[in-house]
Amino acid sequence: MSTINISTIGTRQSKWGEGPIWWENHLLYVDIEGHQIVRLNPETGNEQTWDVGERVGTIVPKISGGLLYAGDSGIVKFNPLNGAKHTFADPEREKRATNRFNDGKCDPAGRFWAGTISLVKNTGDAALYMLDNDNQLQIKLPKVTNSNGICWSPDATMMYYIDTPLKKIQSFKYNIKTGAISQASVAVDTAALGYKDSPDGMTIDSTGMLWVAFCHGGCVVRFNPRTGAKLQHIDLPCVETTACAFGGAELDRLFVTTGMHKTLTEKDAGKVFVLDGIGVQGIPAFAYKG
């Protein structure tokens, strides 16, 4: 096995970095508690930021231009050139005091999937939504508590999903033509594998293996969703590892966002870490086609 090199990129330290996505040779991610969208050039370390005036859980590019994010005010179209915002949907407006949008991604057909979190930990009070290419919002999974990592198999026949308090990675049969999910099952039981901390953001490599960042766990772990086995565990020098995404010219670098612990003081907390030499490649990210 090759030696893995772990380093940080840039100087910015997010309060709570999340939602990394590789797009147009840059890493886009969000600082949820800092209310910012960040565009990082890994070659230079240059960081461009936009303050959106609210907590923002995840972000994706739009094929037609601009960005789409999910945050406190719902699902929002954002123009980084002039800062203009337009809300597509706000399905939990009446729960704004207790809920907000959290993690999400686009599926290979360009639909935007994003879920909410109950900040007061009301079990089953959040949901996973899908915004289709006609800008119509559907509830895909009700009775969620903390909607987190989501990704699709390289052949787009499976969807993987994390509702963090369950400490499991769920799998679903996926219909790429319609966005329908079926045959829910448990792909990986992280608690049964000895992980007491919280599975958070997730990505997938070109061989169909899952990579999960563990909040409060200071690590990224590779799992086989077909067998439920742990394949690889990588410790990072920061407790709050939140999400991960493949990037770089060959999609062979794993970028990991982090946050600041409430009581610990860590030199690199909130920075973006990059893992080189992991020996696998990711798959390209997808943009919203609506």
Which residues are the active-site residues?
200
Coil vs helix vs strand at 150: strand
Which is it for strands 147-152 and 253-258: parallel, antiparallel or unpaired? unpaired
Report the side by side order of strands in the sheet with 17-23. Answer: 17-23, 26-31, 36-40, 47-51
Rounded Cα distance, 191 and 167, in Å: 6
CA dihedral defined by 212, 215, 219, 220, rounded to 10 degrees?
A: 10
Q: Which two tokens stand for residue 276?
A: 């080189």
Rounded Cα distance, 102 and 108, in Å: 20
List the end-to-end C-alpha distance of the chain, in Å, as a whole number.
42
Report the side by side order of strands in the sheet with 219-224. Answer: 198-204, 210-215, 219-224, 229-235
The DSSP symbol for 178 reads T
CA dihedral defined by 80, 81, 82, 86, rounded to 10 degrees?
A: -40
Q: Which two tokens stand for residue 45?
A: 């370390």
The DSSP symbol for 146 reads B
